[in-house]
Structures are given as structure tokens and as C-alpha cells.
Amino acid sequence: MIFAHLRLRRRVGLLAAGLLDGREQDDVRAHLAACARCRAEAHAEAEALGPVVAALESDPLRSAEPHVPASVLAARVARAVAEAPAPAGRKRFWLVALPAAAALVATALVLPPLLKRFRPEPVAARVTIPPAEASALLSEDALARIERNLAREQAARYLSEAGEVLVSVAATGIDCDREDDRLDVGAAPERSRELLEKRHLVADAGGEAVASARGVLTDVELALRQVAELPACVKRRDVELVQKDVEARQLLMRIRLMTRELEG
């Protein structure tokens, strides 16, 4: 009995606010008939909220008519639609995602042999030759060439990883909150932050070796900053903003071309 009272008492306020119906409403009403204290509470609640509901229901904006005729709005919408891209759907999504994925696959196929060619010797192998001896064995030109190749290799890898992050955001179709139209971008924000931390090592320390990549690196940095600010579960329109920005800057194509150039 006491439990029923405690359970139903919590709903007295909801009943007074008109938020119960059906069996729930019947149960609380039956309880009110037997509980004077609850009746008093319901009465007080109704008195308190009644004026608020009355104020809302007498608001003239409830019956406001639009000040622009429907035909005019329809024309405006049609014009806006004509200026905008075709219906999104999943088709348009894949128009972006597929070429990007293909580019990544191509990069993945081409990059490893090239990286292998320029990959530095394992540390253990290098330390067996003291720097002085190495200098004696290698000319200054040869050392400069190696340093240059390493800087360019590092920049290529950085761009490739950044490209992966951007594609993973642009191509995500995984709903994390369907009701709120949110998409899961997984670890992309975190990876963006990691890449941004490494950026100066690539751009600044790379010096003249990566001079031609500065424009792409700057645009990649801007895009990564956008992604870095996203939560893991992000509104679809925010994903679309990143996607549009990447498209507008032709960033994936430029990353691909620059990666090839850096790889020699």
C-alpha cells in the first residue's frame, strides 16, 4: 500500500499537468480518491501550472499565418534546391566515398614499395657505423640527399594518414544516434589531434625538402582542425560541412598528387 502510494504520488504532478492518459491516468485518479494529501497536492499543482498552460494556449502566435505565400516559398525553395547539389541520399555519399577509397587503396599499393626504397636502416644497423665513419663513408651531398628523402617520406606519410582520417570522416555512414541524425566518426577527432601535434615536425623541420607541399599541408591542417573539434558522435550536417570543405579544396586529390610527388 505504502509502495503504491509512493509510486503514484510521483505521478500526481504529471496528472495535474495533463500529462497522463489511459490506464496511468485512471490509476492516479483512483489513488487520489483515497488519498487526501495527494488530492491537495494535485490541486496545488493544477493551480500553479494552470496559468502557464492558459498563457501558452492564448498566445496569438499559435494561429499566426506565414507572411509569405506558400507559392512564393515554394519558388524560393526550388531556386535554393537548383543552386544546391542533387539529392544527397547514399548515392551521392558514395560518389565521394568510392573515389576516395579507391585513391587510398591505390596509395596503399604504391606507397609501401616506395617507402621501402627510402626507409632508413634499422637503428641497430645504423649505430654500428659511428657518425664520424659514416661521414667519411658518405659525402655531404649523399647525407643531404638522405635527409631530404627522409623529410619528404615523413611528409608523404603524414599526408597519407591525414587523407585516411578525412576519408574516414567523409565516408562514415554509421549511425550512432539515428533519432538525432548523428554519425559515428570513431577515432578520427583523436587521430586529427595527434596529427596536428606532429605537423610542425613535418612542415617546419622538413625545410626546403617539403617546400612544395606547404599549400597542401596548410589546407590539411585546417581540415584536421575541423575534425579535431568534432565529438565521436557527430551531427550529420557537421560531417557534411567537413565533406564540403574537403571537396571545395579538392583536398583528397591534392593529397594524393602531393604524396606521389614527395615519394619521387
Partner 1 sequence: MARLAQGDREALTPLVERHYTRLYRIALGYLRQRDDALDVVQEAFVKAFQAAGRWDGSADAGPWLSRITVNLSIDRWRRNRRRGQTFSPLAEGDHLEVLAAVGPSPDRGVHRREASDRLAVALGELPERQRAVVVLRHYQELSLAEIASTLGMSLGTVKSSLHRALHHMRATLAGGES
Say if CB 243 and CB 96 are below 8 A apart: yes
Q: Which of 26, 121, 147, 181 binds partner 1 (CB under 8 A)?
A: 181
Residue type, 166: L
- Measured from the CB atom, is 81 or 201 closer to partner 1? 81
The DSSP result for 106-173, as a single string, is HHHHHHHHHHHHHPPPPHHHHHTS-HHHHHHHS-HHHHHHHHHHHHHHHHHHHHHHHHHHHHHHHT--
Smallest separation (angstroms) from partner 1 to the CB of 24 = 10
Smallest separation (angstroms) from partner 1 to the CB of 248 = 17
Say if CB 213 and CB 194 are below 8 A apart: no
Smallest separation (angstroms) from partner 1 to the CB of 38 = 16
- Measured from the CB atom, is 18 or 120 closer to partner 1? 18
Q: Which of 43, 92, 145, 225 binds partner 1 (CB under 8 A)?
A: 92
Q: Burial level of 8, CB count in 10 A (0-12/13-18/19+)?
A: buried
Site string for partner 1, 51-80 (x = CB under 8 A): xxx-xxxxxxxxxxxxxx-xx-xx-xxx-x
What is residue 69's three-state secondary structure? coil
Strands ordered across the beta sheet of 175-177: 175-177, 182-184, 233-235
- Measured from the CB atom, is 72 or 205 closer to partner 1? 72
Site string for partner 1, 32-51 (x = CB under 8 A): ----------------xx-x
- Measured from the CB atom, is 58 or 128 closer to partner 1? 58
Number of residues that bind partner 1 (CB under 8 A): 49
Q: What CA–CA distance (Å, rounded) separates 38 from 18?
A: 16
Residues 121-180 that bind partner 1 (CB under 8 A): 177-180
Angle made by CA atoms 116, 262, 216, in degrees to the nearest 5: 135
109 part of the interface to partner 1, by CB under 8 A = no
- Measured from the CB atom, is 27 or 221 closer to partner 1? 27
Give the footprint of partner 1 on this chain (CB under 8 A). 13-14, 17, 19-21, 48-49, 51-53, 55-68, 70-71, 73-74, 76-78, 80-82, 84-92, 177-181
